[in-house]
């Protein structure tokens, strides 16, 4: 019956007395005496890291303390009695989040004080010298499975990992009748901790979702609702980030589609933590931003800002589904992992820490949409923020910079020119007005001016491309080979170093085209000409190197350097629209953004989490 040869008899109510009266006080490890060694050798049993009494005590006291925390909603005692490493990685809010299901179901663990636990294996030390106690209580109708890990701290076993599940108890086999036998006097029944031959295996993570307390894309819980655990200390933060990022990547939020399912998912996550938020919906009702405040609302705070939209995947050669997170060799692959759902996932993963810290200076999360098509979604949100009585002190925009502090970036102005020609059969081409040919004159002029800009290098050596850039990016025109094209559109952009330089350059090109090209077209036919429309505009960012927000960002990032970049972000709009000093700093490299098989390194996400952790500590001080 005892497959591994370990069975110890104990008084039935010994564990009850220890568990109720002493709760989770650490156990001092008792040395095994020579006499015990001889007895063990005589019985040919392996030497165990703890005695049977200690094992029973640790199991019961841990689960009963957890039960008290579930009933009161206060997990501080449970956390304080755990190992220091566990405390460092798990706040009381983390524990409350992890054990939400047990608390919601009002599941009472008190029966562990009465029932006898059955161990899947004898107590053993894992390769990290952690004590493992794994098994179940044969309670009904739900069985209580446990997988507990303890760390030796100053010769005391203290909780390091807690895993609890409550599956349906197996059916009892039908009881067979036995012939009557003469009654015999038996000794009093004793309690036995024994090795169970068919104990349900437990693991540190859910075998379905690989994490804790979350729901997958679409809001469906796809793991056993009775499942409930806290991951081991070393895996807590990476697992939280990984799970949240998988959820976010799972939503297809290409800019021409709604982001409302993703926003609703984030709102559910925040609501479970007791965090309030404001939803700012666009005119179509299909897009929304979130403004989240953790901490006092009557004090100026600091902003962590990220966007939820991603660029298209059409025409790109992906090796897997771009909207399913794939992890290989420390890299997390999926559309938006770098730009910039990775940053958003880190911020969300750190919300429980923000709640637990009781911030004196609030932290805001600004989660926007349609950044990729011109920083569209952040503008209505900033309009609302600008109306608030208390303005934030500064903002960190989490675009990929490999956690380098970026104090400046170029502005951008995009223009679409639509050439209106006159269609004719190609056999009588001179009677028509060829829109493509006139558009080509504009393209040549754009190229000429781009060369001139490249020769005017800025004295600002912080830019990786130290001059303004100008280019034609999209051209559409023509209907058939034998038709003189009557329409052609040309999209072009300028990225300027100066605050207004990009618009100044494009305005000059528009004026040239109206003066040089359009008159010639109208001379051929009065209805021909050029129409111009603005398709994108955001100013440059130029935060002073000695600004308070820059100094703080360097302190949190643990580095003293700063730089400027060619790509644009929402940071310049925080500064220009709401007067909020801003810097750009986030995980991942811009070289991976928008590419097939886009990825972000887990190490980058953890560095970002460290940045946010320091920000929380800073805001907790006031």
- Is the pLDDT at 427 greater than 60? The verdict is yes
Structure confidence at residue 593 (pLDDT): 95
Structure confidence at residue 2 (pLDDT): 25
Structure confidence at residue 71 (pLDDT): 84
Confidence category of residue 231, pLDDT binned at 50, 70, 90: very low
Structure confidence at residue 140 (pLDDT): 86
Confidence category of residue 318, pLDDT binned at 50, 70, 90: very high
- Is the pLDDT at 147 greater than 50? The verdict is yes
Structure confidence at residue 175 (pLDDT): 59
Structure confidence at residue 174 (pLDDT): 60
- Is the pLDDT at 139 greater than 50? The verdict is yes
- Give the mean model confidence (pLDDT) for residues 155-163: 92
Contacts of 6 (CB under 8 A, 6+ apart): 45, 46, 48, 122, 194, 195
List, for residues 456-473, the tens digit of each pLDDT value.
877 677 887 889 999 999
Mean pLDDT of the chain: 84
Structure confidence at residue 173 (pLDDT): 61
* Cross-strand pairs, 425: 483
Name which residue leads in pLDDT, 410 or 181. Answer: 410
Confidence category of residue 622, pLDDT binned at 50, 70, 90: confident
Structure confidence at residue 360 (pLDDT): 96
Report the percentage of the chain scoring pLDDT > 70: 82
Name which residue leads in pLDDT, 146 or 98. Answer: 146
- Is the pLDDT at 6 greater than 50? The verdict is no
- Which range (164-168, 256-260, 340-344, 601-605) has the least confidence? 164-168
- Is the pLDDT at 548 greater than 60? The verdict is yes
Report the percentage of the chain scoring pLDDT > 90: 64
Whole-Å CA distances, 570 to 273, 371, 556, 573? 28, 7, 21, 5
Structure confidence at residue 547 (pLDDT): 97
- Is the pLDDT at 199 greater than 60? The verdict is no
- Is the pLDDT at 7 greater than 80? The verdict is no
The CA-based dihedral angle spanning residues 162, 167, 172, 173, taken in that order and rounded to the nearest 10 degrees: -100
List, for residues 30-76, the tens digit of each pLDDT value.
444 445 444 444 444 557 888 888 899 899 999 999 988 888 888 88
Bridging pattern class, strands 394-397 and 582-584: parallel
Structure confidence at residue 555 (pLDDT): 96
Nearest residue to 258 (alpha-carbon basis) of 286, 296, 297: 286
Confidence category of residue 115, pLDDT binned at 50, 70, 90: confident
DSSP assignment of 214-270: ---TTS---S-TTEEEE--GGGHHHHHHHHHHHHHHTS--BTTS--HHHHHHHHHHH
Helix ranges (DSSP H) in 45-163 = 52-72, 76-80, 84-89, 92-98, 100-104
Confidence category of residue 177, pLDDT binned at 50, 70, 90: low
Structure confidence at residue 127 (pLDDT): 81
DSSP assignment of 57-68: HHHHHHHHHHHH
32 alpha carbon, distance to own chain's centre? 47
What domains are there in the chain, each with its CATH number? 7-171+190-194 (no CATH), 237-404+562-621 (3.40.630.10), 411-538 (3.30.70.360)
Structure confidence at residue 93 (pLDDT): 83
- Is the pLDDT at 254 greater than 70? The verdict is yes
Q: How far apart are CA 51 and CA 270, in angstroms?
A: 44
């Amino acid at each position: 019956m005892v497959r591994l040869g370990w069975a110890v008899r104990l008084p039935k109510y010994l564990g009850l007395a220890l568990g109720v009266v002493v709760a989770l006080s650490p156990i001092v490890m008792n040395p095994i005496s020579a006499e015990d060694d001889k007895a063990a050798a005589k019985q040919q049993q392996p030497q165990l890291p703890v005695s049977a009494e200690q094992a029973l005590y640790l199991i019961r006291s841990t689960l009963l303390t957890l039960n008290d925390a579930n009933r009161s909603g206060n997990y501080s005692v449970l956390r304080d009695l755990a190992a220091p490493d566990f405390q460092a990685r798990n706040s009381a809010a983390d524990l409350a989040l992890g054990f939400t299901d047990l608390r919601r179901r009002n599941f009472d663990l008190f029966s562990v004080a009465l029932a006898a636990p059955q161990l899947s294996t004898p107590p053993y030390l894992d390769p990290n010298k952690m004590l493992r106690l794994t098994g179940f209580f044969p309670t009904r109708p739900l069985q209580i499975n446990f997988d507990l890990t303890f760390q030796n701290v100053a010769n005391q076993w203290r909780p390091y990992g807690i895993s609890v599940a409550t599956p349906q108890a197996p059916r009892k086999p039908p009881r067979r009748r036995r012939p009557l036998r003469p009654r015999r006097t038996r000794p009093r029944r004793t309690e036995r901790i024994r090795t169970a031959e068919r104990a349900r295996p437990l693991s540190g993570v859910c075998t379905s979702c690989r994490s804790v307390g979350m729901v997958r894309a679409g809001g469906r819980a796809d793991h056993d609702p009775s499942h409930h655990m806290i991951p081991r200390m070393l895996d807590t933060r990476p697992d939280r980030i990984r799970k949240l990022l998988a959820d976010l990547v799972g939503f297809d939020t290409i800019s021409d589609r709604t982001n409302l399912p993703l926003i609703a998912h984030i709102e559910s996550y925040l609501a479970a933590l007791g965090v309030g938020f404001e939803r700012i919906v666009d005119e179509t009702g299909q897009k929304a931003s979130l403004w989240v405040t953790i901490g006092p609302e009557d004090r100026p705070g600091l902003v962590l800002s990220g966007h939820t939209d991603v660029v298209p995947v059409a025409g790109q050669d992906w090796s897997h589904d771009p909207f399913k997170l794939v992890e290989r060799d420390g890299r997390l692959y999926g559309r938006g992992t770098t730009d910039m759902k990775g940053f958003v996932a880190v911020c969300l993963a750190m919300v429980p820490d923000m709640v637990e810290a009781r911030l004196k200076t609030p932290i805001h999360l600004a989660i926007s949409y349609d950044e990729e098509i011109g920083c569209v979604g952040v503008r209505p949100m900033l309009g609302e923020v600008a109306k608030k009585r208390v303005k934030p002190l500064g903002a960190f925009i989490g675009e990929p910079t490999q956690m380098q502090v970026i104090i400046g970036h170029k502005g951008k102005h995009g223009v679409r020119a639509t050439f209106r020609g006159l269609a004719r059969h190609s056999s009588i081409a001179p009677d028509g007005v060829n829109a493509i040919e006139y558009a080509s004159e504009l393209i040549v002029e754009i190229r000429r001016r781009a060369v001139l800009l490249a020769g005017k290098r800025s004295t600002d050596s912080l830019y990786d491309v130290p001059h303004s850039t100008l280019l034609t990016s999209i051209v559409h025109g023509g209907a058939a080979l034998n038709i003189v094209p009557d329409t052609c559109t040309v999209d072009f952009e300028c990225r300027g170093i100066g605050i207004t330089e990009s618009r100044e350059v494009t305005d000059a090109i528009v004026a040239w085209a109206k003066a040089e090209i359009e008159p010639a077209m109208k001379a051929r036919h009065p209805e021909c000409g050029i129409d111009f429309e603005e398709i994108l505009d955001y100013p440059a960012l130029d935060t002073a190197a000695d600004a308070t927000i820059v100094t703080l960002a360097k302190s949190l990032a643990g580095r003293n350097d700063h730089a400027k970049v060619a790509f644009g972000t929402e940071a310049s709009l925080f500064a220009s629209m709401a007067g909020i000093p801003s810097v750009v700093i986030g995980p991942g490299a811009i070289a991976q953004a928008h590419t097939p098989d886009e990825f972000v390194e887990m190490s980058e996400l953890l560095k970002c989490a460290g940045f946010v952790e320091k920000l929380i500590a800073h805001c907790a001080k006031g």
